[in-house]
Chain A
Amino acid sequence: MLESILRDLECSARERIAAAKAPQYLEAVRIEVLGRKGTLAQISKELGKLPPEERARIGKLLNSVKQNLETALDSKKGQFDHEALRERLESEWVDLTLPAPGTRPGALHPITRIQTEIEDLFISLGFAVLDGPEVETEYNNFDALNIPPHHPARDMQDTFWLTDGHLLRTHTSPVQVRGMERLGPPLRMIAPGRVFRNEEVDASHEHTFYQLEGMMIDRDVSVAHLIFFMKTLLSAIFHRDVEVRLRPGYFPFVEPGFELDIKCLICGGGGCPVCKQSGWVELLPCGLVHPNVLRMSGIDPEEWNGFAFGLGLTRLAMMRYGIDDIRLLQSGDLRCLTQF
């Protein structure tokens, strides 16, 4: 008797589950059949009235009906969930070819880029990065660098003078003087910064440009060390092995003084318009620090010596980025500056 009721119940419940059109129909079946006051709960109350062997058999049957219906409900619910998820996903189509909102990053100035790159390089080699003022004393810019008043070398650097007698530094070399006076030997320092020359501006000349001054002072610094150091440095800057050569150059704050050329990176030394067919490109002035310069900054040249060099950051930035008009760098023209 109970057995057929159970079997009918399972059968009809399965039919209702299969026919359910929405999750709430399943919930109704669950409450009606499997709920605490549902049909199966009612039937299980009847079990006690049965003889023991019948009770065990019907009890087993009841459990299996319950399990079967739970499985059927879960599976149907799974179908509903799956369908709902599918519909949601379907409705959430997005066109990622549309442009992203928000502001695009701006660009750092080409000189900033090259300058920070070279600063990092020097810091990794144990150099301090020093600053100096753009308005300098005549003493620091010239006298302390072995260029006394009326020295013809002053012509090499057309100077902007201020009405108060100071000047706009014509090179970053005065920071050498400040570095030597502040830190003393041994010393490894660079000084990047803005410098000024009283020159007419055209595509290759500027009255305002950027240099990086470098200096190393130690017990025993030779020309061989200078060449090694410059070669290492320039290879790192250009990301390839560069060949360098020294030739005499005159700068009163070094002795001997050199112009350092690198083998033309465009033609490899064979000769091309960039190197004016010579195979070499003039890159930086350098030399061993003049004993007068050391002495004027309170360093004994018999005990210490060193080398110094000046790197033209503006020129380097123009080479790196292929900028052919120096005026663009200080034009503030975003058509150029946003390219980097």
Chain B
Amino acid sequence: MKFSYNWIRELVDGLDIDPKHLEQLITIKTAECEGIEPFEGSQPGCAPDSIIEIDNKSITHRPDLWGHAGMAREVAAITRRPFLDPVRVDLVPAGPSPARISIEDFELCPRYSALVFENISVQPSPAWLQCRLEAIGLNPINNIVDVTNYVMAEIAQPMHAFDADKLHGDTIFVRRARAGECLTALNEERYELSTGNLVIADAKGAIALGGVIGGLESAISDATKRIVLESANFQAVGIRRTSAELKLRTDASMRFEKSQDPANTVRGLARAIELLNEVCPGIRLVGGLADQAREIVPPPAVLLPLDWLVRKLGLAISEEEVRDILERLQFGVETSSPGVLSVTVPGWRSTRDISIKDDLVEEIGRMVGYDTITPSAPMVTATVPPANEERLFHHRVREMAAAQGYTEVYNYSFISEDMARAFHLEPHAHLEIANPINSDQRLMRCSLLPGIWKNIEENSRNYDSFRLFEIGLEIHKREDAVRLPDEIPHLAAAVYGRGDGVDGLFELKRLAECLMPGAVVARCEPRPYEHPHRSVALRWHGSAVGRLFELHPTMVAGRAAILDVNLQLVYKLQPGTAMYKPIRRFPSSAFDLSVIIGLRDEVGRVGELLAQFAGPNLEALEFVRQYSGPPLAAGQKSVSYRMTLAAADRTLSASEVSAVRNGIIEAMRAKGYDLRI
């Protein structure tokens, strides 16, 4: 929202601070200023001005600050100067109006006021008016429309002028649109309406979309001779709903959705009378005010206990000072009981902004200045906070992965359909964003792999080899859509290189083993994006926790090994505290065994069998080497393990050790294995 410095100065008696200083005051006391721009104006005779830009978000709760008078009232309160109200309500004539108003839905339209004027001459506005509008970013159109815009920019009351000769009948209806009813608006767009939309209508049909935009048919033209000037109040929620539905935000809808004060409708008309007399020579009012409203009950006074206020602010402040501040802001203040003030809220603050005592804390605090509050330490109980063990676990995993050479990446939670399909994930199995920024960010990831794939592809343009990892959430749709989706933390790590790719797989296997000591790999059905002979499932404490594989060569140039682990599961499977076992006191004995297997037989299987057959005294089983070549037959390899035996209570005798060894050999042979002895 743009504010003209000159305009504000006009409404605050004797304001003598420069724009820069004024901007700072407003920022500290009221709303956020985003900067000041000088304004020269295209018209000759425009007074130079400074335009203060206020962040719209910071006045979301202040319907009054959507006009210059509201801001001037604020500045007057801050600088302790009189506010000069531009509105002379006494200008509104008494007597019946030629126009009749029929509000059918007081919920959506609490008040509708109008005046009829005749003897209009539509012409360009005088330079001063055009300058004012131009300064705050509004286009001057003609004297009639410019006056409605001026009043809106001044007292935040949007208005609309109809060409009276284009209306049918003498009654203005305020009603819900009929299903399928259409309106061509001032912007020359045609809108199909629904019963949720409120229209202004004549005997024939809709002539405006209430509080949002006027209709084209009844618009002011150069030929206009008589006008009906509307100044109404519309309910914020209805306006927002309509404006969202039709994707149509206007200066009017932006103000009404902030909950404007119904008292302002007549004030708007009063101000318009004065301005029209000035810019439209010969104009005449026809009759008096047409005004229909539901009963508007003033909100109850807010009780403000002073000791409570002092406790909330943490600042000792006197009753006089509190009164002074509230009265400067035009609140009504009375003493309800000793130490408790009864505060009446002015209409322009009560529609949304202020209804409870907490709201008054802000009024006092900002006006007295938050910088006058001395910071003090809160008195709270010293307690140990509940630990978030799972989060700490994630941090440890991060540290571990980084220490092993992996650099952490963050990927978006969104993926494209193509990325999903590349990993054989059905797009319809994903949660979908209804309003994505673009179509390739429409699906919520239910795997980290598509993101990691993209990282691999992009970084391979800059590096011959690299390691990276991500810890992030997989988001899984549930059958029962009412419940929130399942969000499962995963670790995905990748090693990229240009060699034969084997080292990368084993590096990741090591990372997996560091994370899950004793995890085992299990043969599994390879997935289409996995190298069919380089893919295993990882199991830990009996549960499938993830996968280790090389990305299928059709998906990447070079080699990319990937580890994908369900961290939620790994966290749950972690063993408890390790208890000390006494250090063994008796010496151990070791021997090696070499087993002949086929080149593509799994070494791990041999180890498993050896361990199984070694019995309870096996202390360690260590892979020594594998060998293929003469004297072994082609297609064979020899696998050597060192086995260490020990007993807790004695030294094993040579014959006990050789009995175990012979037992293993016999059992292996029974399984069909050949041993080199």
Query: Which residues of A line the B interface, CB within 8 A?
Result: 103-109, 111-112, 116, 119, 123, 126-131, 133-137, 149-150, 152-153, 155-156, 160-166, 168, 183, 186, 188-189, 194, 196, 198-201, 207-208, 216, 218, 220-225, 227-229, 231, 245-250, 252, 255-259, 276, 288, 290-291, 305, 329-335, 337-338
Report the bound CA distance from A10 to B432 in whole Å: 102
- Please determine whether B409 and A288 come into contact, CB atoms closer than 8 angstroms: no
What would 17 more interface pairs be, CB under 8 Å, given A163-B433, A291-B356? A106-B467, A116-B395, A129-B391, A150-B241, A155-B57, A161-B433, A163-B432, A198-B435, A222-B312, A223-B312, A223-B313, A224-B373, A248-B362, A248-B366, A259-B32, A329-B410, A334-B463
- Please determine whether B444 and A162 come into contact, CB atoms closer than 8 angstroms: yes
Report the bound CA distance from A106 to B373 in whole Å: 47
Given contacts A135-B487, A224-B313, A334-B466, contact A248 B30 (CB under 8 A): yes
Q: List 20 A-B contacts (CB under 8 A).
A: A106-B408, A107-B402, A126-B383, A131-B390, A133-B487, A150-B236, A160-B436, A163-B432, A164-B477, A166-B484, A199-B437, A222-B376, A223-B373, A225-B375, A247-B27, A247-B366, A248-B58, A255-B359, A256-B361, A330-B410
Residue total for B at the interface (Cβ-Cβ under 8 A): 94
Q: Distance in Å from the Cβ of B484 to the closest Cβ of chain A?
A: 6
- Please determine whether A152 and B236 come into contact, CB atoms closer than 8 angstroms: yes
Count the A-B residue pairs with Cβ separation under 8 angstroms: how many? 244
- Please determine whether B365 and A250 come into contact, CB atoms closer than 8 angstroms: no
Query: B117: which A residues are within 8 A, CB to CB?
Result: none
Q: Distance in Å from the Cβ of A154 to the closest Cβ of chain B?
A: 9
- Please determine whether A104 and B405 come into contact, CB atoms closer than 8 angstroms: yes
Report the bound CA distance from A135 to B435 in whole Å: 15
Q: Distance in Å from the Cβ of B507 to the closest Cβ of chain A?
A: 8
- Please determine whether A338 and B407 come into contact, CB atoms closer than 8 angstroms: yes
Given contacts A221-B378, A288-B358, contact A123 B413 (CB under 8 A): no
Stretch at the interface among B123-131, B175-183, B319-327, B450-458: B450-458
Given contacts A112-B398, A168-B413, contact A160 B381 (CB under 8 A): no
Task: Say which residue of B382, B409, B451, B463 sits within 8 Å of A109 (CB atoms).
Answer: B409
Task: Say which residue of B31, B378, B388 sits within 8 Å of A225 (CB atoms).
Answer: B378
Report the bound CA distance from A107 to B43 in whole Å: 60
Given contacts A134-B413, A222-B313, A225-B376, contact A108 B61 (CB under 8 A): no
- Please determine whether B378 and A218 come into contact, CB atoms closer than 8 angstroms: yes
Query: A332: which B residues are within 8 A, CB to CB?
Result: 409-411, 451, 454-455, 458-459, 468
Q: Distance in Å from the Cβ of B365 to the closest Cβ of chain A?
A: 6
By beta carbon, the residue of chain A nearest B493 is A106
- Please determine whether B356 and A112 come into contact, CB atoms closer than 8 angstroms: no
Given contacts A106-B467, A227-B370, A247-B32, contact A133 B484 (CB under 8 A): yes
By beta carbon, the residue of chain A nearest B259 is A152
- Please determine whether B413 and A194 come into contact, CB atoms closer than 8 angstroms: yes
Residue B434 interfacial (CB < 8 Å): yes
Query: A126: which B residues are within 8 A, CB to CB?
Result: 380, 382-385
Q: Distance in Å from the Cβ of A228 to the closest Cβ of chain B?
A: 4
Residue B534 interfacial (CB < 8 Å): no
Given contacts A166-B484, A337-B408, contact A255 B358 (CB under 8 A): yes
**A-B pairs with lowest CB-CB distance, top 8:** A224-B314, A222-B314, A256-B362, A103-B405, A228-B375, A106-B407, A332-B455, A246-B370
Query: A186: which B residues are within 8 A, CB to CB?
Result: 380-381
Residue B481 interfacial (CB < 8 Å): yes
Residue B315 interfacial (CB < 8 Å): yes
Query: A134: which B residues are within 8 A, CB to CB?
Result: 413, 473, 475, 487
Residue B257 interfacial (CB < 8 Å): yes
Given contacts A256-B366, A258-B370, A333-B459, contact A216 B313 (CB under 8 A): no
Query: A247: which B residues are within 8 A, CB to CB?
Result: 27-29, 32, 366, 370
Report the bound CA distance from A255 to B433 in whole Å: 33
- Please determine whether A288 and B435 come into contact, CB atoms closer than 8 angstroms: no
Query: A220: which B residues are within 8 A, CB to CB?
Result: 311, 378-379
- Please determine whether B467 and A103 come into contact, CB atoms closer than 8 angstroms: yes
Residue B500 interfacial (CB < 8 Å): no
Task: Say which residue of A112, A218, A276 sits within 8 Å of B408 (CB atoms).
Answer: A112
Query: B409: which A residues are within 8 A, CB to CB?
Result: 109, 332, 334, 337
Q: Distance in Å from the Cβ of A90 to the closest Cβ of chain B?
A: 34
User: B558-611: which have CB < 8 Å to A?
Assistant: none
Q: Distance in Å from the Cβ of B35 to the closest Cβ of chain A?
A: 8
Report the bound CA distance from A222 to B374 in whole Å: 11
Residue B429 interfacial (CB < 8 Å): no
Report the bound CA distance from A333 to B381 in whole Å: 45
Query: A183: which B residues are within 8 A, CB to CB?
Result: 386
User: B340-396: which have CB < 8 Å to A?
Assistant: 356, 358-359, 361-362, 365-366, 370-371, 373-386, 388, 390-391, 395
By beta carbon, the residue of chain A nearest B478 is A164
By beta carbon, the residue of chain B nearest A162 is B431
Q: Distance in Å from the Cβ of A317 to the closest Cβ of chain B?
A: 11
Task: Say which residue of A108, A129, A256 sits within 8 Å of B388 (CB atoms).
Answer: A129
Q: Distance in Å from the Cβ of A275 to the closest Cβ of chain B?
A: 13
By beta carbon, the residue of chain A nearest B404 is A103
- Please determine whether A135 and B484 come into contact, CB atoms closer than 8 angstroms: yes
Report the bound CA distance from A160 to B413 in whole Å: 12
- Please determine whether B378 and A228 come into contact, CB atoms closer than 8 angstroms: yes
Report the bound CA distance from A200 to B391 in whole Å: 31
Residue B237 interfacial (CB < 8 Å): yes
Residue B98 interfacial (CB < 8 Å): no
- Please determine whether A152 and B60 come into contact, CB atoms closer than 8 angstroms: yes
- Please determine whether A223 and B314 come into contact, CB atoms closer than 8 angstroms: yes
Given contacts A123-B385, A334-B462, contact A163 B434 (CB under 8 A): yes
Query: A335: which B residues are within 8 A, CB to CB?
Result: 462
Residue B403 interfacial (CB < 8 Å): yes
Residue B520 interfacial (CB < 8 Å): no
- Please determine whether A108 and B402 come into contact, CB atoms closer than 8 angstroms: yes
- Please determine whether A330 and B412 come into contact, CB atoms closer than 8 angstroms: yes
